[in-house]
Amino acid sequence: MKKTEKAKKIFKILNRIYKKVPIPLNHKNKFELVVAVLLSAQCTDERVNQVTPMLFKKANTSHKMIKVSKNTIYKIIRPCGLAPQKSKAIFELSRILVKKFKGKVPESFEELEKLPGVGHKTASVVMSQGFGHPAFPVDTHIHRLAQRWGLTNGKNVVQTEKDLKNLFPKKSWNKLHLQIIFYGREYCQARSCYGLKCEICKTCNPNRKQPIKTIKS
């Protein structure tokens, strides 16, 4: 089965199961979204959503965040892991936003990716969920699923993002990346499906007999 055929079948299944998808990370403005996505690196969304209310109560804008000490930020976000790096990044990106952008989150990939702790994936989430621009954020979970389903050769997340963008309509990207994440959590988990059990895996690769090994990003 060709990749384009698989993409059509996957698209149909995901739209049937997930007609609407919630935004996983709780936030009330674009600054909160940037911080929440930054915190989600190597951390679950659930844990981030437990930590951010206390952080955002102290500071929910860049102007307020630069008045909070790095040590205070560190103590609050410690349960998210990588706290030394993340607390420094949150403080420094807040300082840059105030100095260069009057406290506002910039509306471009180029400017977002220059911010401390903000890589292409984080910028993609902000552009997609914060500004509504078409983007296809690819994290390790989407990278793994795209390999399982035979949509990419799995060399790296950059190639996976390129392959997925070529296979799916641009207008679907913002919703689709969330649909894939939710499907993976519910039906195609890393240590249960192995590319053999869920509806999408069986639909895309009906003759597969052995568990598929995926290449880490």
- Taking the chain, what is the end-to-end CA distance rounded to the nearest angstrom? 25
Please report the domains of the chain, with CATH numbers, ordered by start residue.
3-21+136-204 (1.10.1670.10), 30-130 (1.10.340.30)
Distance of alpha carbon 182 from alpha carbon 186, whole angstroms: 6
Instruction: List alpha helices for 149-194, DSSP H.
Output: 157-167, 173-186
Please indicate whether residue 175 is annotated as part of the active site: no
| pLDDT attached to residue 215 | 87
Choose the catalytic residue: 6, 86, 121, 163. Answer: 121
Question: Residue-wise pLDDT tens for the chain (217 aa)?
Answer: 899 999 999 999 999 999 999 999 999 999 999 999 999 999 999 999 999 999 999 999 999 999 999 999 999 999 999 999 999 999 999 999 999 999 999 999 999 999 999 999 999 999 999 999 999 999 999 999 999 999 998 789 999 999 999 999 999 999 999 999 999 999 999 999 999 999 999 999 999 999 988 888 7
Active site residue 121: yes
| Continuous H helices in 26-138 | 30-39, 45-58, 62-65, 70-77, 83-101, 109-112, 120-125
Of 8, 30, 75, 139, which is the active-site residue?
139
| Contact yes or no for 57/88 (Cβ under 8 A) | no
Contact between 200 and 10 under an 8 Å Cβ cutoff? The reply is: yes
Radius of gyration (Cα) for the chain, nearest Å?
18
Q: Which of 3, 73, 1, 2 has its CA nearest to residue 38? A: 73
19 is written with which tokens?
């007609």
